[in-house]
Amino acid sequence: MMDMFDLKGKVAVVIGGAGGIGVGLVKGLSQYGAKVVVASRNQEAIEKVAAAVEKETGNDTFSHTVDVTSEDSMGKLKDAVVEKFGTCDILVNAMGLNLKRLVIEFPVDEWDTMFDINVKGTMIACKVFGNVMKENRSGKIINLSSVREIRSMPGGDAGYAATKAAVGMYTKTLALEMAEYNVNVNAIGPALIITPGTIHVIEDPVIAKKMKDMIPLGRLGYPEDLVGACIFLSSKASDFVSGQTYFLDGGLTVK
Ligand SMILES: NC(=O)c1ccc[n+]([C@@H]2O[C@H](COP(=O)([O-])OP(=O)(O)OC[C@H]3O[C@@H](n4cnc5c(N)ncnc54)[C@H](OP(=O)(O)O)[C@@H]3O)[C@@H](O)[C@H]2O)c1
């Protein structure tokens, strides 16, 4: 029987691939057979992740730096990927920045930095790799959104939420633009995912319990919880799915 989730022979680029969530997705895509390119600004971090994952799964990996805010840098990443693996079938935009600032105090340059990475960076990555997929008449794009795309919370999240609402609507609209090229564009929107960068949030047991109690499934999420949806959206199994944000949140957004 054909395995609809098999990614053998596919080339996946994960930007933010050495981040807390990115590492989990790089590993998952490689376990399902993809050749994975790990990209971000920090050469040492991406090399380390690529080497560790290749050692674990036995599938080819590659790492290359990119700054998502620069179209020139993204073009160089694309050229390196095409030279190394011939094409790009799957793009995962797992980079991001979450600056918690009350709007009445928000430094405008920090607001711009967050929008540049979360929104402009997503656009540039989709533009550059979308052209490869357009040529191929095939491709899968997965953007990292958040429950903040549709669910607000007080305490300094307005800027971040605005970037994720932008990513959500961008994903829907790009899905329409790319449909004629047989490119599926979707997003995943996690609730709080416990990673080295977010573990501090639950260091206080009272806050940890409060966070857990908010989730209908009764527990917090981990990077492994995002792998299933990422493989689905990268594979043949999702060929009739486009323009969606999948909220991976233990049921939080339906409360
Ligand atoms: N963790 C959560 O609870 C959670 C929940 C919902 C949504 N999300 C979303 O999921 C995504 C990943 O989150 P995470 O928790 O894994 O964050 P993270 O651990 O901070 O990782 C973010 C990654 O983005 C990369 N990055 C930042 N700026 C970049 C730039 N200009 N160019 C290229 N890469 C850049 C960083 O690498 P370099 O510094 O090496 O460039 C890093 O690898 C983000 O979009 C985030 O908003 C996270």
Mean pLDDT, rounded, for 231-254: 98
- Ligand 1 atom with least separation from CA of 73: 32
Cα–Cα dist 86/181, whole Å: 19
- Ligand 1 atom with least separation from CA of 192: 3
Cα–Cα dist 84/87, whole Å: 8
- Enumerate the β-bridge partners of residue 50: none
CATH topology of domain 11-248: Rossmann fold (3.40.50)
Q: Are the C-beta atoms of 20 and 221 separated by less than 8 Å?
A: no
Cα–Cα dist 121/114, whole Å: 10
* Residue bearing the CA closest to ligand 1, atom 9: 144
Q: 3-class DSSP state for residue 92?
A: strand
Which pLDDT band, with edges at 50, 70 and 90, does 74 fall under? very high
Which pLDDT band, with edges at 50, 70 and 90, does 156 fall under? very high
Cα–Cα dist 71/169, whole Å: 21
* Residue bearing the CA closest to ligand 1, atom 1: 193
Q: Which of 159, 229, 163, 217 is nearest to 190 (CA)?
A: 229
pLDDT of residue 1: 65
SS (HEC) of 207-228:
HHHHHHHHCCCCCCECHHHHHH
How far is ligand 1, taken at its centre, from the CA of residue 96, in Å?
Answer: 4
Cα–Cα dist 85/203, whole Å: 42
* Residue bearing the CA closest to ligand 1, atom 44: 96
181: annotated active-site residue: no
* Residue bearing the CA closest to ligand 1, atom 21: 19
How far is ligand 1, taken at its centre, from the CA of residue 16, in Å?
Answer: 6
Q: Give pLDDT tens digits for 99-128.
A: 999 999 999 999 999 999 999 999 999 999
Please work out whether the CB of residue 195 comes within 6 Å of at least one atom of ligand 1. Answer: yes
- Ligand 1 atom with least separation from CA of 160: 47
How far is ligand 1, taken at its centre, from the CA of residue 2, in Å?
Answer: 34
Please work out whether the CB of residue 18 comes within 6 Å of at least one atom of ligand 1. Answer: yes
Please work out whether the CB of residue 69 comes within 6 Å of at least one atom of ligand 1. Answer: yes
Mean pLDDT, rounded, for 57-70: 98
Share of the chain above pLDDT 90, in %: 98
Q: Which amino acid is at 240?
A: F
Please work out whether the CB of residue 95 comes within 6 Å of at least one atom of ligand 1. Answer: yes
Domain spans of the chain? 11-248
Ligand 1: residue of 95, 128, 153, 253 to mutate (most ligand atoms within 8 A of CB) is: 95
Mean pLDDT, rounded, for 131-159: 97
Q: Which of 160, 170, 181, 246 is catalytic?
A: 160
Q: Give pLDDT tens digits for 168-227.
A: 999 999 999 999 999 999 999 999 999 999 999 899 999 999 999 999 999 999 999 999
